[in-house]
Chain A
Amino acid sequence: MVPATLVLTGVDIRYQASVDAVRDLSLTVPRGGIVALLGANGAGKSSTLNAISGFLPLLRGRMMAGRISFEGEDTAGLAPHALVRRGVLHVREGRHVFADMTVEENLVAGTFALTGRRAVHRRGFDEVYGYFPILAQRRKGQAGYLSGGEQQMLAIGRALVAEPRLMLLDEPSLGLAPRVVAEIFAIIARINREKGTSILLVEQNAVMALGCAQYAYVLENGRVAAEGSGASLAADASIRELYLGVGADGAARSFRDAP
């Protein structure tokens, strides 16, 4: 049996002791696998990623219960930069490139993730530029002037510099043209295949996500409402209705009501 990269068991997340964002969530990302986390706005997808990457305390959130283990070690409570240095890279929703810096300076910022893992020196970033040739052309340009797709590429490339073992991708398709989305997903699949990087992918674009994920979880109001292989979820009638936009009546339904 291949050991899992990431295991969440019974995770509860709460913000400022008021709203429950996530309740009793358990999920597994197998080594070298791509797992998708689907669901509507506010279902708890980003909260889950923030718990894994240690951002919750910075966002006034707390993990009330449950365990998070990365490569067999309990990592809940570690500082975000410490997690990054172990190889857990979170590519946040909305890209968040450093707009005032050049493309290359953004990549240099990414090298801080290598602290303590091996000697850090200014490399040529050939690997990143290999996956994203457009970034090589723009390397001296300000990141703020890149297109949305290029900024997303830079955000992923910046994580790639850190030699990630697990990448948490939050909405990489957000606000991008379909052609660009397809291009980015193809590169994500290539990175996973060629480098063996495990990926947990949060997406609203369920078609794209289920297309490249081996396994997927559907969150609703902070709970897992459905899970299964990418193909089986894509074939499921109620999933199709709620997330793929191919329903018959179009009325919103809860998965817990489903037969």
Chain B
Amino acid sequence: MSGLQVFLEYTLAGIATGGVYTLVGLGFVLVFKASGVFNFAMGDMMMAGAYTFYLCAVVFDLHWAVALLIAVVFSCALAWLIERTVLRRMMGQPVIAVVMATFGIGFVLRGIAAIAFGSEAYQLPALLPRAPFFIGDIMLPGKSVRGFVLTTGLCGAIILFLRYSRAGIALRATAADQITAYAMGINVRRVFALTWMAAAAIGTVAGVIAASVTSLTPDLGTIGLNVLGVVILGGLNSVGGVIVAGLFIGWLEAMTAAYLPGDIREITPYIAVLAMLMIRPYGLFGTRPVERI
């Protein structure tokens, strides 16, 4: 393989991973923007969605599109339940208490998955065809290309939704100023519930993509830790920032895997985040202090 081809292949693989980070990061940012809560259960909600997909697609042998739809609906319902039973009761409590509750929710979800499915790794059916793409003489892995197209489309849809839909305006209004949002007649609590459900839906898609690239275990949610770096890098309240940062971290990981030895890959994103925070404490595009974590 030529040097250029290595670079391009790793770049593309990195951007595909980055797309998953971006999606999960968007789930974080939506919830944080609306309610100021840092949702540490995001990665585990993603894992729960992926298991539901596995159950539908493999155990019940449904078509992958149907399985994905069911998984999205299920995780939305789960998010709604979590919002109703745990978070709504905690309204008015200090944010740190709510954040701790999301930690707990994450552990519970992981525990349930471990009890129900055990800790062995499952293979998901190939969600996307593997047939390679060619740009000139350069062969690109089909799964990465199609994964990238899928995540790009989803990110675009989310941006358009936030920008132009009425519900998007309600969400931005709630994010900007809760009391004024109430004064507009916006049901702020319902907006919170909707952002949790949206985050769960996005997380499910990300979880299915991530699990089909690697494999499905109850620990799939630990990808949320990488995403923690992503959202801090991009700025906790910035949709644009998380997209750029997600793709960048994914690419950076791939580059270190290609050109640097062994385990450095694991810590590279955190070094990048650390360096960034020294220069811009609120992240690339963030506007508010991150005191709320």
Contacts and interface: CB of A to CB of B under 8 A. Distances in A.
Interface stretch (A82-90, A175-183, A236-244): A82-90
B186 interface: yes
Contacts of B186: 81, 109, 112
Interface string B167-210: 00110110011111111111110000000000000000000000
A79 B176 CA distance: 20
Nearest to A96: B180
Interface in B143-184: 166, 169-170, 172-173, 176-184
B183 A90 contact: yes
A58 B169 contact: no
A111 interface: yes
Nearest to B183: A90
Contacts of B177: 96, 98
Contact of A81 (B166, B169, B187): B187
Contacts of A232: none
Choose among B169, B178, B185, B188 the residue with the greatest number of A CB atoms under 10 Å from its CB.
B185
Given A81-B187, A109-B170, A111-B166, A99 B176 contact: yes
Contacts of B169: 101, 105, 108-109
Interface of A: 53-55, 58-59, 79-81, 84-85, 89-92, 96, 98-101, 105, 108-115, 122, 158, 162
A84 B184 contact: yes
A122 B181 CA distance: 18
A55 B179 contact: yes
Contact of B179 (A92, A99, A101, A115): A92
B184 A92 contact: no
A158 B179 contact: no
A98 B180 contact: yes
A89 to B, nearest CB: 7
A105 B173 CA distance: 10
Contacts of A99: 176
Interface residues of B, number: 18
A210 to B, nearest CB: 26
Contact of A162 (B172, B179, B181, B185): B185
Contacts of A158: 184
Contacts of B187: 79, 81, 112, 115
Contacts of B180: 92, 96, 98
Given A96-B177, A112-B185, A114-B185, 18 more contacts: A55-B183, A58-B179, A80-B182, A84-B183, A84-B185, A85-B185, A98-B173, A99-B176, A101-B169, A101-B176, A108-B166, A109-B173, A109-B181, A109-B184, A110-B184, A115-B185, A122-B166, A162-B184
A58 B181 CA distance: 12
B78 to A, nearest CB: 26
A96 B173 CA distance: 11
Nearest to A59: B179
Contacts of B188: 81
29 contacts: A53-B183, A55-B182, A58-B178, A58-B179, A59-B179, A79-B187, A81-B182, A81-B184, A81-B185, A81-B186, A81-B187, A81-B188, A84-B183, A90-B183, A98-B173, A98-B176, A99-B176, A100-B172, A101-B169, A105-B172, A109-B173, A109-B181, A110-B184, A110-B185, A112-B186, A112-B187, A113-B185, A122-B166, A162-B185
A114 B186 CA distance: 10
Most interface-central of A80, A99, A162 (chain B CB within 10 A): A80
A167 to B, nearest CB: 11
Contacts of A110: 184-185
Interface in B123-141: none
Given A81-B187, A81-B188, A101 B172 contact: yes
Contacts of B179: 55, 58-59, 80, 92, 96
A81 B185 CA distance: 4
Contacts of B183: 53, 55, 80, 84, 89-92, 96
